[in-house]
Amino acid sequence: MSERTGILLVVSGPSGSGKTTLCRLLADSGEVRYSISCTTRPPRPGEENGKDYHFLSKEDFFHRLEAGDFLEHAVVHGNLYGSLKSEVVAHLNAGRDVVMDIDVQGADQIRQCPDADIRRAFLDLFVMPPSEEILHQRLSNRGTDSAEVIALRMHNALEEMRHWRKYGYRLVSTTVEEDFVQGLALITGERLRVSRITDP
């Protein structure tokens, strides 16, 4: 086995693309660690603190932001989201791979991070829905939102999809199983990357 530092797989894509399912499957397979984001939005039914998100008050969030604890942060629909450096760097240095499910703004911030550990680890993947029709179905089928909210989500999704060329890799989602195979192949190949191998 080669000694190496970990991969930071940053996954973006619109709501309904399948990116969150992909990240969860990669984490559940034991191949990568899931980086849990912080947010100031209230938990949805079934969401657990420390599992789905670290739910923080706005006061706590700003305190940590001032302390420089965040790798990236963003405002989405009026709520704050961010990823703690401490959540990521310890894993990378121990050779463990980390996956982060973040939006285009957050990925931009990590892409510009000057920290050598983060730059070496960085691997960015954009997940696209199979088609606009299927995206619309997926955003409608949640069954919890009004037509206006669905239309706004669709607008935001199409906006977000314009940014795929900023990413190193792009996956056009097909099925949950095939997306997982593709994502796992990307990580498996990247584990061979010389710039992360620490062997003499």
List of residues contacting a copy of itself (CB under 8 A): 1-2, 125-126, 164-165, 167-172, 181-182, 184-190, 192-195, 197
User: Shortest gap between Cβ of 51 and a copy of itself (angstroms)?
Assistant: 29
Residue 143's contacts (CB-CB under 8 Å, 6 or more residues apart) are: none
For residue 11, report the phi and psi dihedrals to the nearest 5 degrees: -110, 125
- Measured CA to CA, the distance from residue 8 to residue 189 in angstroms comes to 14
Q: Given the complex with a copy of itself, which of 142 and 170 has the nearer CB atom? A: 170
User: Shortest gap between Cβ of 62 and a copy of itself (angstroms)?
Assistant: 35
In angstroms, the Cα distances linking 104 to 133, 142, 167 are: 22, 23, 9
User: Shortest gap between Cβ of 200 and a copy of itself (angstroms)?
Assistant: 10
- In the three-class reduction of DSSP (H, G, I as helix; E, B as strand; rest coil), residue 171 is classed as strand
Q: Given the complex with a copy of itself, which of 4 and 64 has the nearer CB atom? A: 4
Q: Are 134 and 172 in contact (CB under 8 A)?
A: no
Q: Given the complex with a copy of itself, which of 152 and 172 has the nearer CB atom? A: 172
Q: Given the complex with a copy of itself, which of 56 and 171 has the nearer CB atom? A: 171
